Amino acid sequence: MTVVGQIVVPALALRAPDSARLDREATARYAQRAVRTWADAFILSGSTTRGDQLTIEERAELLDLWSGLIPASRLVACCWCEEDVQEATRHAIIPMVVMHSPCDDDQALLLLASLPPDAYVYSHPKYGSTVLNASLTAAARRRGILPAGAKLSKIATDDITAIRQAAGPQWTLWDASARHIHASLAAGASGVVATPLSHVPTPFPNRSLPVLQAAIDTTQKQLDRLPSRTTRSRLLHELASENSDKCAAG
């Protein structure tokens, strides 16, 4: 069975050893390897790679790097501040704005109204009390301020179905989990965000659903054994570096 839906991979920004500084050469090698895969889209500076800990200048540099390797249509820029949105727009890359400021639905609607027409949002309960649920989606649609799409974390398949009904059939809805790709797509997701593929395994799994889900599950089990987002991110970065070294040696 071939996956019919988008597979989105959060891109990593590799750091220099024992430093929070961006390792530009290693990140460039990683990006060159990633863009040769069939992945439908890459999220730049997202939470998987702790993009919030990069500087505004480093996040802009990543947009420069990736846009020189791949069409902008395969890129989404996670935006942590207004300057990030401006940089994404300058690069003609879809901005995905983190919903980390609204504390209630009224403030969330104000945020949605302020976004560029092509923007997505990233909704995760850890960033605040307000998430993009079905009722907020319906309210935004009625007002004509529904963003072009969203990455939604910590949602059940029933939530996906409800949000899909509220948003309409053409709206881009990404389940932030790839633990159950078939169930997510059947519930109404346009695609899934496959964090366990962030290290770009070699060989990269093909689009066959059983093969892809098995590869994702293998790395997901490793990630689940770790206690924090920081340690999970560190593992993915280590795996990415190992795969880059294998490719260079080959």
Q: What are the residue ranges spanned by the domains of the chain?
A: 6-249
Q: What is the pLDDT of residues 164-204, one digit of tens each?
A: 999 999 999 999 999 999 999 999 999 999 999 999 999 99
184: left (phi over 0), alpha (psi -120 to 50) or beta: alpha
Alpha-carbon gap, residue 224 to 216, rounded angstroms: 12
Q: So what's the pLDDT on residue 3?
A: 85
User: Which amino acid, residue 83?
Assistant: E
**Structure confidence at residue 102 (pLDDT):** 81
Contacts of 199 (CB under 8 A, 6+ apart): 12, 219, 236, 237, 239, 240, 242, 243
Q: What's the CA dihedral at 219, 63, 51, 162 to 10 degrees?
A: -70
Phi, then psi, of 107 in degrees rounded to 5: -70, -35
Which pLDDT score is estimated for 242? 85
Angle between helices 157-167 and 134-143 (to 10 degrees): 10
Handedness of CA 4, 189, 235, 121 (dihedral sign): positive
In CATH terms, the fold of domain 6-249 is TIM Barrel (3.20.20)
Q: Is the pTM of this model over 0.85?
A: yes
Q: How is the chain classified by DSSP, letter by letter?
A: -B--SEEEEEPP-PBPTTSSSB-HHHHHHHHHHHTTS--SEEEES-GGGTGGGS-HHHHHHHHHHHHTTS-GGGEEEEESSHHHHHHHHHTT-EEEEE--S-SSHHHHHHHHHTS-TT-EEEE-GGG-S----HHHHHHHHHHT---SEEEE-S--HHHHHHHHHHH-TTSEEEES--TTHHHHHHHT-SEEE-GGGTT--SSPP-SBHHHHHHHHHHHHHHHHTSSSHHHHHHHHHHHHHHHHHHHHH-
Q: What per-residue confidence (pLDDT) applies to 248?
A: 55
Measured distance CA(145)–CA(23) in Å, rounded: 38
| Confidence (pLDDT) at 220 | 97
**What is the reported pLDDT for 18?**
67
The whole-number mean pLDDT for each consecutive block of 10 residues of the chain, a chain of 250 residues, reads 92 82 92 97 96 94 97 97 97 96 91 97 90 97 98 97 97 98 98 98 95 97 94 92 65
